[in-house]
Structure 1
């Protein structure tokens, strides 16, 4: 089956695919940070059940989008909401998705998990949802410093 990857469907051409055990580790770290009531993705099925529906959430809808737009990181992870259903993969990108015009269910977060944005097929009603890590201040400060260092190196 030759289907379009999640980043490509979001208009992102350059991405790295992380597979199998490395992807599982990333997904479980995300799960521990943003869905601590769950220990696995078992029972999450595309178009039937959703991780974004049970994840901890700080902001929703327009407030979530505004907060998301303020955040930057050197790299981002894109993960399908139903992680592992088809393949155990996540994507690493430098370009942060800016919209969800196809109303897909996915999560975007920096590599250090400072925050997470859940885009949903119900964006504008229930989503998107923005969540902060318990150590958000410290982690986000590291992201900001890394982004500033990258900018200084490009000047």
Structure 2
């Protein structure tokens, strides 16, 4: 039996995310990373995989090794890990306190990792090394990312 993504992060999981919460979180994600009309979303097959917004160049992103390098440098107090539930119904969505390792890209599953404030988003795909992974930044990335950095530094200092 293939391990689930949550199994690789067991020591870091803060809590699992309910289906209702997933829906809200991904609507928020979509408002940032896929602000397209319904017709435009259908054209890029967004309903199949949300990362198609990146592979179809509808939202600016970097891909492959460059994406992994950028991802590996990110910090936050909490990260969302959300699988494509329609494609991977047995996977669990969860919040974790450590950045999921980029080696999870080799598991060939479709899932998204991003901080609560959506400063950036990493899309891991089942097409690893052919399409993806993709790293994208929020239009207010500098401000939001600085808040993430300051939050982590505050914890490190015991504030």
**TM-score bucket (shorter structure):** 0.7 to 0.9
Question: Of Structure 1 and Structure 2, which has the larger fraction of its residues in helix?
Answer: 2
TM-score, normalization by structure 1: 0.81
Other-structure match for 1:27: 26
| TM-superposed deviation, 1:103 | 1.2
**RMSD between aligned alpha carbons?**
2.9
CA distance in 2: counterparts of 1:38 and 1:61, whole angstroms = 27
Other-structure match for 1:94: 97
SS at match of 1:113: coil
Other-structure match for 1:148: 153
Matched, 1:6 2:20: no
5+ residue gaps, structure 1, are none
| TM-superposed deviation, 1:92 | 0.6
What number of residue pairs does the alignment pair up?
A: 147
Give the 4+ runs in structure 1 shifted more than 6 A. 41-45
Cα distance, 1:95–1:51 mapped onto 2, change above 3 Å: same
5+ residue gaps, structure 2, are none
TM-score, normalization by structure 2: 0.79
Other-structure match for 2:74: 71
Cα distance, 1:85–1:44 mapped onto 2, change above 3 Å: farther
